[in-house]
């Protein structure tokens, strides 16, 4: 739409799209308002839209990704997670244990990450595990502990949802719904979180291309949930010194192809505590909007992923290291 | 259990395991009966079991995979799909279009693959697609068409299920539930098909290791569904001449590590019609128990994956090529 | 050239190409004679060639690979290695130890592979090893042992050359010069073997694309050595159950893109003795023209790669298994 | 050796090692002097060494990498390239075109990178190219132009050597010998640069593991050339949005496993000009000791790799961006 398009003109365009049998998606930026049209509109229909009042131009999407692409929305998407703006100048830190193991463990972790300067608390109540015999999480009990920690400590809660029917339950307790790497192409789940009203943190699958990753985000956006955070968490390569290989290239690629905020998970990405700091600094220097870091009060006795979790003191040291790096690239922590 | 263990002895072992707070899984082979014990049994409990009548020996599983491993069951698992024995000397051919597009298309495909010698018909009613705007399948309508084709032509139906809540619906129409590559680690879905009474064809994820693949099968087996077919369908590598790289090594590796039947999908594995025949021959020569092949009556107008689908005549030619290869390795087609 | 082009017409075309400042490559097939032109000939020069007597048509190469491509030569390239025709109906077996360790070891291996039915003996005298402290081969001493075994047992010798200045030395003893996977893009070495008069067995690098592989062959062919054998020996993937992943798809892809013979090395490809037989059968079924198999009289005490070497008896059993597979695809062993 | 070991004591240990039939490598740090022993010394010989005067302790290398490992030398290796210390607090910038194309092009590039703040000039005179028909470099003519630019502009010259017999020629003109990614396991070449007296910049091969990379360095070190720079230049993965995937994890891994300086090549690593800045910032933030960046005065007309080369102005902007990042991690540029 033109910069000076009126509300009324926008409404008439939306109405026209519906009468043509397509679906319309509205995206209001600070300067421009864009309307996405989904459906096999032919050239003639595009012409009709072009001549409506207030329409600046009709752009045909070159690839399958539309709502997630920079073509559709030039400005960065910024939204609030419990008061913190993600996608803005401020870098968001999501930290906490891999899994909620007990009330005591989680409260300790929450206090530690709050002290270090995190805005959000991570912790899995439903854990997708390679083996059916591994600890699968505390379930709803874990969600309750997370909510209690949020209220007590003052942190947003980011936690994973692993099946469509759980979405309402998890949404009751969480501030951000996490879709894990193994479920990145679980379309039933993407559809379900797309219809929820919570922001979604979408992790890149182990061998997902960047295009597939953006298509997965597109599933969520196409259900009218515009608040999606892209999370690079390491891809699978032949290298065995690290658990995965953080694809640092993906940060500028995603930022150039999409307007969505990008966070990096150096804990899963490296799989080893001693490499988390270096990769965290790299992620911020490369332009990430946030980090997701595993912190555990007692990593030696963690039920999962202890080897990659920072101790509270290590987390604080890391945060101090990150501050000047953030400033060096014009951001704050 | 000993070869001559009585039913009564088996029952007492099962009862003992339950009273120790563990879960028991019974597997009857032609010669031996094995009982899998899941739960953190300590050494003392193992000793108790060892002294029960009829128990030959207690084996502690070395890795996380137990029920799917050859350690647990030495003999090949063989079971019937609508009258055809998979895992036996006879090689099973599952063929048909990528997606059910219409009644006419599917019936034509079914007649063609039946004529060529297939035992089962494939065809997706629910299609997981990279883009939310691609054709997502006909849904229940597609399932009905599949069931009609089965009854008319006489073929078992193999079709994909993409979310836990759909399992009962799909199980109503299908003979085999397929779990696609993108859902190989969708544990909610694995649990759901594990509790159904239908055989499950489990596709290896694009970058799944063999160990993760067997762990995914273990999820299904651990819910007391022993009828799992492992499907190698190509892994993701750097090579771009083919869509994926069929991991031919995986066939002997899976056969040595597991007792479950293994089928290969050369259509997705290569992504190009012209390479399907060579890879099909290779799969059988390497010891696969079956093939899953895309056949479409009119590939040029297919709604998905036309480029890798064989024409009916090409499928017949392939089947003629495969017969001597099967015989060369002591199998029949 | 036209089918009935005279020698004289061919000579005049060759002369014309030279006077235009380009390089000409002659390839005589059973039916057609083709002339490859290398150099930045512009459209005008192509026109001149087109009007010469005996010229059927001028084809412009679509990609960088010309001499190695099927476009340039439709017929399979067939040539003799010490009397055996590679690229023909008969499948060639190259077998022997990873490295020449001693006269006794090599003679024993040679007798065993000859008995099993191999046509050529493999064995490294110069061994490229990951660590500088590993056994690097016996050098010229090893070459002499190889030559002695050839004369005594009656087998062609295939052995690796690792640097350009060694080519004349190795060519003195070997029937086929092997370029190893690590040197596939060592262009100085490719140029050197290209100017030798020995056939070259070129191994695909661990992460080489098929296009890069054919380009490496093109280096050799462009120096007027047309006798190149392509060897698929497994690519590097994330899978760790096997040392490498044999790219079985590559066989039909290479056969369709190139006229050069293709052999497969299942020993390096799988890295484990127990999987060699299955992958060997697959390679032949997929259309390979030969196999390269490690056989050691005493694998437990091998100085390198013992874990993937067959014992003599296992090699004989394998050969018996392969015969019916070869016949099933219209080949002989 | 003990901190207070005398020259004489060191000499006697070296002599003893030689008489035991092993090879000794001397490494003098600021605090400690270490002596590497290569050869199959048995336990008894280690005992003999342990009792010599001045010996603090005998450490047995756990893996095949010895001279390149932190176990052998705790302190960072720092050495001078034409007056600039690599491995020190100061980050070294090596910049210039992919290939030397002409005197004019190179002088322009040299002036530009000098102005931007680089310490060294890169530029290939011998170019290893995928296709035999691509531009292969100007050869010795190119080396002369490089040397002229060095003298005129005041920059160290880093240039590639592609075969063992060229090493003396290239060493005549270059300050640092570069071994390219395709030659990382060309052991004849590694041996040749190991015996030269020039520092060596060793690029990681496209699918080399970190362990193989360090083993390649070990080849050079074992010939008594201790001045090796490790260069991470992107690994091959399935991702196609970028030419390669810079393995940012490798930086902390290499720094923890080895004492050698590490530089990153974001130009080959990403393959696209627009992503070079973000990955350069990330590399420095992660702890790299230097960067190798392609800069071309006229990228649109470059004979190779134009798409990934920065224009002079872009290089200057990048350098300004990098300064605060370097400072944020306690380094200078």
pLDDT, tens digit, 9 for 90 and up, residues C89-127: 999 999 999 999 999 999 999 999 999 999 999 999 999
The predicted pLDDT at position D43 comes to 66
Chosen for mutation from B247, B249, B257 (greatest number of chain C CBs closer than 10 Å) is: B249
Q: Within an 8 Å CB–CB cutoff, is residue B332 touching chain C?
A: no
Interface contact D240, partner A, CB < 8 A: yes
- Which residues in chain A have their CB less than 8 angstroms from residue B65's CB? 131
Q: Which of B249, B321, B329 sits opposite C246 (nearest CB)?
A: B249
- A60 vs C132: which has the higher pLDDT: C132
Tokens encoding D280: 């350069």
> What pLDDT does D270 receive?
97
Residue B123: strand, helix, or coil: coil
CB atoms within 10 A of CB D46: 14
Would you tell me how many other CB atoms lie within 10 Å of the CB of residue C71?
A: 17
Q: What is the pLDDT of residue A133?
A: 87
Alpha-carbon span C168 to C151, nearest angstrom: 20
Confidence of residue C55 (pLDDT cuts 50, 70, 90): confident
Cβ–Cβ below 8 Å for D249 and A245: yes
What per-residue confidence (pLDDT) applies to D32?
A: 72
* A311 DSSP 8-state letter: P
* Chain B residues whose beta carbon lies within 8 Å of the beta carbon of residue C246: 248-249
CB contact under 8 A, C249 and B270: yes
**Closest-CA residue in chain D for B206?**
D238
Window C:102-121, CB contacts with A under 8 Å:
none
The pLDDT of residue D249 is: 98
**Residue-level pLDDT at B190:** 98
D171 touches chain A (CB under 8 A): no
Average pLDDT of B67-78?
94
Segments in chain D forming alpha helices (H) = 7-19, 43-50, 103-116, 140-149, 167-173, 187-194, 210-221, 250-257, 266-270, 273-286, 312-328
Mean pLDDT for all residues in chain A: 93
With H, G, I as helix, E, B as strand and everything else as coil, classify residue C96. strand
Among candidate residues C317, C293, C295, the one with its CA nearest the CA of residue C306: C295
Joined together, the tokens standing for residue C271 give 């890295």
**CB distance from A241 to chain C under 8 Å?**
no
For C109, half-sphere exposure in the C-beta direction (CA atoms, 13 angstrom radius) is 35
CB contact under 8 Å between A245 and D247, yes or no, is yes
Q: Flag whether pLDDT at B211 surpasses 60.
A: yes
Taking CB atoms and an 8 Å limit, are C187 and D134 in contact across chains?
no
Say if the Cβ atoms of C185 and D236 lie within 8 Å.
Answer: no
| Cβ within 8 Å, pair D253-A240 | no
Positions of E strands within chain C: 23-28, 33-38, 79-81, 84-86, 92-96, 120-122, 156-160, 176-179, 200-203, 228-232, 262-264, 290-294
Confidence of residue B5 (pLDDT cuts 50, 70, 90): confident
Lowest mean pLDDT among A69-73, A88-92, B7-11, D44-48: D44-48
C323–chain D Cβ distance below 8 A for any pair: no
- Check residue C61 and give its pLDDT: 65
D130 touches chain C (CB under 8 A): yes
| B285·C287 Cβ contact <8 A | no
Average pLDDT, integer, range A149-161: 97
pLDDT (mean) for C45-53: 81
Chain C partners (3+ C-beta pairs within 8 A): A, B, D
Distance, in Å, from the CA atom of B199 to the CA atom of B217, rounded to the nearest integer, reads: 12
Residue C19 has pLDDT above 90, yes or no: no
Task: Of A35-44, A52-61, C106-115, D30-39, give the lowest mean pLDDT range.
Answer: A35-44
> For chain A, what's the residue count?
333
Write the residue in D132, D206, D219 that is nearest to C219 by C-beta: D132
Residues of A in contact with C237 (CB under 8 A): 238
B187·A162 Cβ contact <8 A: yes
What integer pLDDT is reported at residue C2 of this predicted model?
Answer: 84
At what angle are helices C187-194 and C210-221 packed, to 10 degrees? 40
Which residues of chain A neighbour D270 with C-beta distances below 8 Å? 249, 252
Q: Does the beta-carbon distance from D274 to A282 stay under 8 Å?
A: no
Of C57 and B184, which is predicted with more confidence? Answer: B184
- Contact between D130 and C64 using a beta-carbon 8 Å cutoff: yes
**What pLDDT is recorded for position D61?**
65
pLDDT higher than threshold 80 for residue A61? no
Select the residue of B38, B65, B131 nearest A64 (Cβ to Cβ): B131
Whether residue A131 and residue B64 make contact (CB cut-off 8 A), yes or no, is yes
- Pick B162's closest partner by Cβ from A165, A187, A206: A187
Cβ of B237 within 8 Å of Cβ of C239? The answer is: no
CA-to-CA distance for B309 and B292, rounded, in angstroms? 11
Answer for the pair A125, A100: CB distance below 8 angstroms, yes or no.
yes
Burial of residue C50 (CB within 10 Å: 0-12, 13-18, 19+) is exposed
B162 backbone dihedrals φ, ψ, rounded to 5°: -115, -5
Indicate the pLDDT class of residue C21, thresholds 50, 70 and 90. confident
Helix locations, B174-265, DSSP H: 187-194, 210-221, 250-257
Q: Which chains touch A (3 or more CB pairs under 8 A)?
A: B, C, D
Under an 8 A CB cutoff, do A38 and B183 touch? no
- Search chain C and give the residue with CA nearest A244: C238
Q: Distances from the Cα of C10 to the Cαs of C5, C55, C61, C184, in angstroms?
A: 7, 8, 20, 34
pLDDT for residue A28 = 76
On whether any CB of chain B is under 8 Å from the CB of C248, the answer is yes
Question: Can you give D241-294 as a three-state secondary structure string?
Answer: CCCCECECCHHHHHHHHECCCEEECHHHHHCCHHHHHHHHHHHHHHCCCEEEEE
Is the separation of the CB atoms in B315 and B99 below 8 Å?
no
Residue with tokens 């028909």: D133
Enumerate neighbours of B (3 or more CB pairs within 8 A).
A, C, D
Q: Which pLDDT value is given to residue C40?
A: 55
Among C36, C40, C132, C211, the residue to mutate for chain D (most D Cβ within 10 A): C132
pLDDT tens across C216-250, in order? 999 999 999 999 999 999 999 999 999 999 999 99
Q: Is the pLDDT of residue C260 over 90?
A: yes
H or E stretch at B290:
strand B290-294
Angle subtended by helix axes C250-257 and C210-221, to nearest 10: 40
Give pLDDT tens digits for A178-199. 999 999 999 999 999 999 999 9
Q: Do C236 and A236 touch (CB under 8 A)?
A: no
Over range C162-176, report the average pLDDT. Answer: 97
**3-state secondary structure labels for all residues of A132-158:** CCCCCCCCHHHHHHHHHHHHHHHCEEE
Where is average pLDDT lowest: A243-252, C193-202, D14-23, D315-324? Answer: D14-23
> Over its length of 333 residues, how does chain D's per-residue pLDDT go in tens digits?
888 888 888 888 888 888 877 778 887 776 778 888 876 556 677 778 888 888 887 877 666 788 999 989 999 999 999 999 999 999 999 999 999 999 999 999 999 999 999 999 999 999 999 989 888 999 999 999 999 999 999 999 999 999 999 999 999 999 999 999 999 999 999 999 999 999 999 999 999 999 999 999 999 999 999 999 999 999 999 999 999 999 999 999 999 999 999 999 999 999 999 999 999 999 999 999 999 999 999 999 888 888 999 999 999 999 999 999 999 999 999
- Determine the average pLDDT of the residues in C276-288: 98
Measuring CA to CA, which residue among C193, C192, C178, C282 is closest to residue C229? C178
* DSSP 8-state assignment for residue D32: -
Is D131 in the C-facing interface, judged by CB distances under 8 Å?
A: yes
A255-300 pLDDT, tens digit each: 999 999 999 999 999 999 999 999 999 999 999 999 999 999 999 9
Q: Which residues in chain A (26-55) have CB-CB distances under 8 A to chain B?
A: 38
Contact at CB, D282 and A239, closer than 8 angstroms: no
Mutation target among D238, D240, D245 for the B interface, most CBs of B within 10 A = D238
Residue (of A105, A150, A96) closest to A123 by Cα position: A96
Q: How close is the nearest chain A Cα to the Cα of D327, in Å? A: 8
Residues of D in contact with C130 (CB under 8 A): 64, 185, 211-212, 215
C-alpha angle B285/B289/B291, rounded to 5°? 85
D69 touches chain A (CB under 8 A): no
Average pLDDT over residues B78-100: 96
Chain A residues with CB-CB distance to C234 below 8 A: none
Q: Mean pLDDT score of chain C, rounded to an integer?
A: 93
D202 neighbourhood in chain C, CB within 8 Å: none
Please indicate if any CB of chain D lies within 8 Å of the CB of B241.
no
Q: Give the chain A residue whose CA is nearest to the CA of D279.
A: A286
- Residue D215: the pLDDT is 97
User: Position of tokens 């910069």?
Assistant: A3
D239 lies within 8 A of chain A by CB: yes
In angstroms, what is the C-alpha Rg of chain C?
21
Please indicate if any CB of chain A lies within 8 Å of the CB of B207: yes
Q: What is the pLDDT of residue C296?
A: 97
Q: Cβ–Cβ of C238/B207 closer than 8 Å?
A: yes
Number of inter-chain CB pairs under 8 A, B vs C: 142
Confidence of residue A62 (pLDDT cuts 50, 70, 90): low
Give the model's pLDDT for residue B303: 87
- CA A231 to centroid of chain Cα atoms: 5
């Amino acid at each position: 739409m033109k910069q000076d398009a009126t509300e009324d003109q926008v409404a008439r365009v939306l109405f026209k799209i519906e009468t043509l049998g397509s679906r319309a998606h509205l995206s209001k930026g600070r300067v421009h308002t864009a309307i996405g049209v989904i459906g096999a509109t032919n050239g003639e229909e595009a012409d009709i839209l072009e001549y409506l009042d207030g329409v600046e131009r009709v752009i045909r999407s070159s690839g399958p990704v539309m709502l997630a692409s920079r073509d559709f929305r030039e400005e960065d998407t910024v939204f609030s997670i419990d008061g913190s703006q993600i996608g803005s100048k401020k870098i968001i830190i999501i930290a906490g244990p891999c899994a909620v193991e007990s009330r005591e463990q989680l409260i300790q972790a929450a206090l530690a990450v709050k002290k270090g300067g995190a805005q959000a608390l991570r912790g899995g109540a439903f854990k997708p595990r390679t083996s059916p015999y591994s600890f699968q999480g505390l379930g709803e009990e874990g969600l309750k502990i997370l909510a209690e920690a949020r209220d007590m400590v003052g942190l947003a809660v980011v936690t994973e949802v692993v099946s469509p029917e759980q979405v309402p339950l998890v949404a009751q307790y969480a501030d951000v719904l996490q879709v894990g790497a193994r479920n990145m192409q679980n379309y039933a789940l993407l559809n379900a979180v797309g219809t929820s009203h919570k922001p979604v943190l979408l992790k890149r699958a182990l061998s997902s291309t960047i295009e597939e990753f953006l298509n997965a985000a597109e599933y969520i956006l196409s259900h009218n949930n515009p608040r999606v955070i892209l999370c690079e968490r390491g891809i699978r390569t032949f290298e065995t010194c690290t658990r995965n290989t953080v694809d640092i290239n993906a940060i500028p690629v995603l930022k150039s192809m999409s307007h969505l905020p990008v966070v990096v998970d150096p804990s899963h990405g490296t799989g080893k505590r001693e490499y988390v700091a270096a990769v965290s600094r790299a992620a911020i220097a490369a332009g990430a909007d946030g980090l997701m870091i595993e912190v555990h009060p007692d990593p030696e006795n963690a039920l999962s992923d202890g080897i990659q979790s920072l101790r509270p003191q290590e987390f604080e040291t890391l945060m101090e290291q990150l501050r000047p790096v953030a400033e060096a690239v014009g951001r704050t922590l």
